[in-house]
Structures are given as structure tokens and as C-alpha cells.
Chains A and B, each alone.
Chain A
Amino acid sequence: MKVIKIDKTEWTGGIDKSRAKYLLFGPVKDKDVQNNERYIFKQLSADQFPDMEASDTVLSPKGTVFPQTEKMLQVSLDPSVPDHHIMKRVDTDYSPRAVIGIRPFDAKALTLVNLNFDTKDYRDPYWCDAYQATTFVGLAVNKPSQFDFSTSMGSSPFGEEGLDVLLVDNGSEFLAKVITDKGQSFLDAAGFNKSADESSAQKIEELKAAAEKAVAAKVGTDNLTKRTILELHEAPFWNDIAFAYINCGTCTFVCPTCWCFDIQDETKGKSSTRFRNWDSCMFPLFTLHGSGHNPRGEKVQRVRQRFMHKLKYFLDKYDKGTMCVGCGRCVQSCPVNIDIREVCNIMNNYEPKK
């Protein structure tokens, strides 16, 4: 296992060097008009650096690969233009980019979303081209937040799934664990090439053990495979869980594994664009038929759908664990404090009456 040592004094220089080969994305501090401070993931301008002290962002970095609004096809509706009414793919820049400072649970989330967009029958070119053009330089989480429950959901503050490089903050330096060739290319482009000594591997393991121990919340998932879909679906606890719920899309928008989208056509003058937006299974419109029939017209049905999808349908369909990586953003942002950790425990402890 190769570990590179990056003195923090060399960090900004290396990042600057990497800009020659990569578009950079990372967390930066943002102050809004109310003077509220928060961190957001965005494309870095030529003089911006990723903030490696950033706390968790409200929105996950899934937007770097899957923008909230993304153009797909365009067409001219002008009959005098040749090829009118024939749709064409929009030109998007897929030159190499690097997302720096992404948390391990967010990187793992993208590997789960990949299962949806890259299948043996179809490949979504927009998502896949962006994902494949991206190098993920993750930052291990030495001090997990109170909302982190990644160790219960198949991830970890020091997880490596979905990452090309794992940076570990070791005080005056970063220890960079090289995971893939893509990661190596990034480190080369940044000029980070000092090998760390043998003690570094040990140090990483120590920090990892401490971080995993510090994850306070534990959630049970071992019984979820034992129940059938119908047993959990027909369980009596959903009405109680759903009472407080207000049908907004907050959890789905902040969640790194949520991928559902809507497709819309918008026309201006004689030219039209087909694009997609993040959509949410929590909205009543999500499943509304043209006839007016709505299979999930009641709010309890939608609440149940979200948790069943995350914790059961995905689990059964792909056999890769649940569709939740334990980042805790939904818990933090939900206006009515619907807590997936609580719901997961209820589902996990459920014993159907025989």
C-alpha cells in the first residue's frame, strides 16, 4: 500500500499545480445574505482552495457528478432549419475533474448510485461520463459528527470505496493513501510525490480505529434481509412514523444516495431543451397518473416508500447493503425530525405476528 506524505505547507502549491490538468471541486465557506455561514461543495475558481477544515455540507457532493438541473438534449422547433424537431445531445464539458475533500461515505454513496445509472441494459451517458471523468480525493473524518452513523451502514469515517486517494489529516501533514491509478495521476499532477515512511500505515490505522470508535450512533440492520418485502410493507408502525411528516423534498435533496429525477422540456422562442431535475418520492406529484389515479396519494404511503427503498428494496435488489451510507444529513435537515436511524431500528426489530 503506497502512502504519500504531503506537508501542509506544500498543499496549496500542489493544488495550484493540479489545476493545469483538472477542474477542481471542493468544500468552501459560504456566507449568505443573513450572515449565516455554511460550507458548500462547488467548482473552485482559479484562486479558491478546498477548505480541509470544513464541517459537513448541507447538500452532499453528488451535485458535482449529478447537477440539480442538467441539460440533456436540445432541438430547434423552427421548420426552416434543417434537422428541425430532431433532438441532439447538448455539449457538456467532461474534461478531467477532481473532487477534493469528499467524505468517504459520500464516495461510497456514488458507487451505489452507479449501480442505477450503469447497467447491463442501459448506460446513462450524462451521469456516467461525469463520474468517469472525476477523480475522488477523499478526506478521512478524524472526528465524526454527532449525526454520523456510517459504521452501521457499511461505510466508515476512513472508508476507501469509491475513492481514488484517501487523505488523512495527521496534524502538520496529510498522509495520502493511493487507492487507484487515477488517484496516482492526480498526485503526480499536483507534484505530491514524497513517500511516507513505514510508520505512516500504522498511524493511519490508529486514527481509523479512534474515528470508528467515536461514531456514537449505532443502528441495527442485520434483520432487514430476514423479513420479506410484504411483511415490512404491511407492518403497523408506518402511520405513527408518518404523522409529523410534511411532504417536502429536503431529505431526498441532501441525501448522497438519492438519484430520482424528473424530465422536463422547456421552450424559449423556437428552441427547446430537454433537461432533468432532482425529483423526490416525497412529492405527491411523483407518482400521479394522467388519469388522476395516484398509487401513493397518501402521505403514509410516500413515507413508507422512502424507507422501504433505502433499507429494503435496494438491499434485496443489489445485495450490496442498504442504500444509506450513514451521513446523517437527512437527520440534521429534516424540519420535523423524522430520523432514519429510529425508523431503521423499528424496521430491524419488527417481528411480524404469525
Chain B
Amino acid sequence: MDSLTKKIREIASNILKEGKVEMVIGFTQGTIPMTSKPYMARTPEQTENFIWDRHCTLNLANYITGRKEKIGIIAKGCDSRNIVNHIVENKISRDQLYIIGVPCTGMADKHNPDELRDNCATCTHRNPVIFDIMAAEPVEEQKLDDPFADVKAIEAMDKDAKWGHFQDLLSNCVRCYACRNACPLCYCPTCFVDESAPQWVGKGQNKTDIQTFHFLRAFHCAGRCTDCGACEAACPMDIHVRAFTRKLNKDALDLFGWEAGLDMTKRPPLDTFNPDDPNDFIK
């Protein structure tokens, strides 16, 4: 067992013993090879079940939304940014959390375990931005020449090719909502697709309805998404749903100089108004 797993178990066990938290959320070994499973330990003995490896691909911030207990949580870079987001959006308060920071060198791709996941290849926040204790020494952050090269490639397509690309991208979607439910940002008590009065989106396999779901969800995540990749890790049909959120992340950076989850004192740009906000769409 590697030293990181050992350290995580040790820290988790200590904070439970010391009564600092009532539960610790992390990962345990999955029942099939190369998978992990989100796990909650309530006793020091149960912390022996925690693991940390290259298959810890979901975002644990998803499990703290609206909880009332004192919670220990194991957070890699992107997860920690979502925790900041949760704090800003009042989904949890800072003093409820004991954050065990884990510097991350990237998670394995679901189908090619020797390769890095797509979002990890362009990650610039490998080290947790908020923590109470670090389980290991920080790692070097990646320096990327063109982090949004993939988005620019799509932006460069002509109108018809782009639309065709989006149609193909979403053609296999079965509306299981795994992407939405794995995402820590999607915590609306009633999602817009489940509203009936008025009904915004049809529930069938109509192409327009499927596209509406994905586009609108991306917009609801605009300025808040940390590109953690949980949506793609969860999707059973391997759909590249991040194509839309990445574009909006790029827009947030270009238009507002904004990256989500880095500052506990600032609200995301679509939440606030500033007279200097770009407004060249008003013609």
C-alpha cells in the first residue's frame, strides 16, 4: 500500500478519534478492478477502508451538499475548488469541514488506464487551494501553453460542421442524468428537466430535448465549473459532455478573468454585477 493511502488513513483516524469530525468521506476499493467507490467512515476502524489511487475519479464535494455534520473530506485540487464554491454558495460552512488535501498528478482514463484523463491533462490546479492538513508535499503545477486548444478547435469550425459535431456528440445520450448527479454544482431541489409547471424540456429521446438538457446544464454551471471530470467519469455512454462546460470556462476566463473556486470571498461572475462587465453584446 502506498504512503499516500497510509497517510490518509492515519489522518482520518486521528480526526475521528479527536472528535474533530463525525465522519470522513473518501474512497474505498471498488468491487471490480480499477474502480473506486465513494465511502464514508464513521469510526477510526472504518478508516482502514480508505484508498487513494489513480481511479479516484469522482468529485467528493458532491457528498457534502447541505449536510449538517462536521465532516472530514479528502480533496484533490479540483475537489477543493468545488468545496470553495460550495462555501461561497452556502451549501456548507467552512467550520463544518476538516479538509485533508491531496496533491494530485492526475487520474487514469476510464478506458485507457495507462493514460491520463482528458481534464487531468489540462489541469493547472493539482494542489488543493484550501485544506486543513496536507497528506503529502505539494506537486509542481503544469504550465500549459494553450490550455483551451480543444475549445478553440471547435470554435474554428464553420457553423454547419460545428452543429453537426454537437449533434454527433450527444447522439448516444440516454438521459440517465449521471452527469448531472455526479456534479457537485447540480444541487437544485428540482432540476429544470423535472419541472412540470411549466414544462421546459420534453422527457423523450427527441434530439432537441436532449440537446436542451446539455446546453442548459452547461450554462447553469458557467463560471462555477472546475473541470473535475466527474460528469464524464459517470457517463455510461462515454459522452464528452465537458465540450460545453469547457467553452464556458474559457468564456469566463476571457470575459471576466474568472476561474471558479479559487477565492472564498468572491461570488462567481454570473451572480454579481459590475459596471465594468463586458457588454459588447448590447448593440
Query: Which residues of A are interface residues toward B (Cβ below 8 A)?
Result: 32-34, 36, 38, 58-59, 68-69, 146-147, 243-244, 246-250, 253-254, 262, 264, 266, 275, 277-278, 280, 283-285, 331-333, 335-339, 341-342
On whether the beta carbons of A335 and B237 are closer than 8 Å, the reply is no
Interface residues on B, range: 35 or more
Which residues of B lie under 8 Å from residue A34 when comparing CB positions?
238, 240
- Residues of the A chain whose Cβ atoms lie less than 8 Å from the Cβ of B181: 246-248
Known A246-B178, A248-B177, A277-B204: A331·B32 in contact at CB below 8 Å: yes
**Segment with Cβ contacts to A, from B9-17, B37-45, B120-128, B265-273:** B37-45
Asked whether A59 and B174 contact (CB < 8 A) given A246-B62, A246-B234, the answer is yes
Give the top 3 A-B pairs by smallest Cβ distance, nearest first.
Answer: A335-B234, A248-B178, A333-B236
A336 touches B174 (CB 8 A): no
Chain B residues positioned under 8 Å from A254 (CB to CB): 236
Task: Report Cα–Cα, A335/B230, bound state, in Å.
Answer: 9
Count A-B pairs with CB separation below 8 Å. Answer: 100
Are B37 and A36 touching (Cβ within 8 A)? no
Most B CB contacts (10 A, CB to CB) among A38, A244, A253, A266 go to A244
Q: Which residues of A contact B96 (CB under 8 A)?
A: none
In the complex, which residue of chain B has the Cβ closest to the Cβ of A340?
A: B31
Q: Which of B35, B174, B176, B240 contacts A33 (CB 8 A)?
A: B240
Whether, in the assembled complex, B142 has its beta carbon less than 8 Å from a beta carbon of chain A, the answer is: no
Take A244-B39, A250-B236, A336-B38 as given contacts and tell me if A69 and B206 are in contact as well, using a CB distance cutoff of 8 Å. yes
Is B172 part of the contact surface with A, judged by Cβ < 8 Å? Answer: yes
Q: Which residues of A contact B30 (CB under 8 A)?
A: 337
Q: Are B238 and A337 in contact (CB under 8 A)?
A: no
**B39→A249 contact, CB < 8 A:** no
Residue of A nearest to B179 (CB): A248
Chain B residues within 8 Å of A246, by CB: 62, 178, 181-182, 234
9 contacts between A and B (CB under 8 A): A32-B239, A33-B165, A246-B181, A247-B181, A248-B177, A248-B234, A284-B194, A285-B194, A335-B182
A33 vs B239: C-alpha distance in the bound complex, in angstroms?
A: 9
Q: How far is the CA of A247 from the CA of B186 in the complex (A)?
A: 12
Cross-chain contact A250 with B205 (CB below 8 angstroms): no
* A38 adjacent to B32 (CB under 8 Å): no
State the CA gap A58–B237 with chains docked (Å).
8
Q: How far is the CB of A152 from chain B (nearest CB, A)?
A: 15
User: In the complex, which residues of chain A have a beta carbon less than 8 angstroms from the beta carbon of B36?
Assistant: 337
Alpha-carbon gap, A47 to B111, bound state (A): 30
Q: Shortest Cβ distance from A173 into chain B, in angstroms?
A: 33
A-side interface mostly: loop
A262 near B38: Cβ-Cβ < 8 Å: no
* B175 beta carbon closer than 8 Å to chain A: yes
Q: Counting CB contacts under 8 A, is B233 at the interface?
A: yes
A36 with B178: CB separation less than 8 A: no
Instruction: Tell me which residues across on chain A come within 8 A of B205, comparing CB atoms.
Output: 68-69, 277
B114 contacts the other chain (CB 8 A): no
Cβ–Cβ < 8 Å partners of B174 in chain A: 59, 68, 253, 278
Q: Which residues in A have their C-beta under 8 angstroms from that of B180?
A: 248
Complex: chain A residue closest to B233, CB-CB:
A335
- Given A264-B203, A335-B58, A337-B30, A248:B240 Cβ within 8 A: no
Residue of A nearest to B35 (CB): A337
Contact B202 A33 (CB under 8 A): no
Q: Are A342 and B31 in contact (CB-based, < 8 A)? A: yes
Residue of A nearest to B174 (CB): A253
CA distance in complex: A253, B111 (Å): 21
Closest chain A residue, CB of each to CB of B166: A33
Chain B residues whose C-beta falls within 8 Å of the C-beta of A33 in the assembled complex:
165, 168-169, 240
Question: Separation in Å of the B148 CB from the closest CB of chain A?
Answer: 18
Additional A-B contact list (10), CB under 8 Å, known A248-B176, A248-B180, A266-B202: A36-B238, A69-B206, A253-B176, A262-B203, A277-B205, A283-B177, A335-B182, A335-B236, A336-B234, A339-B32
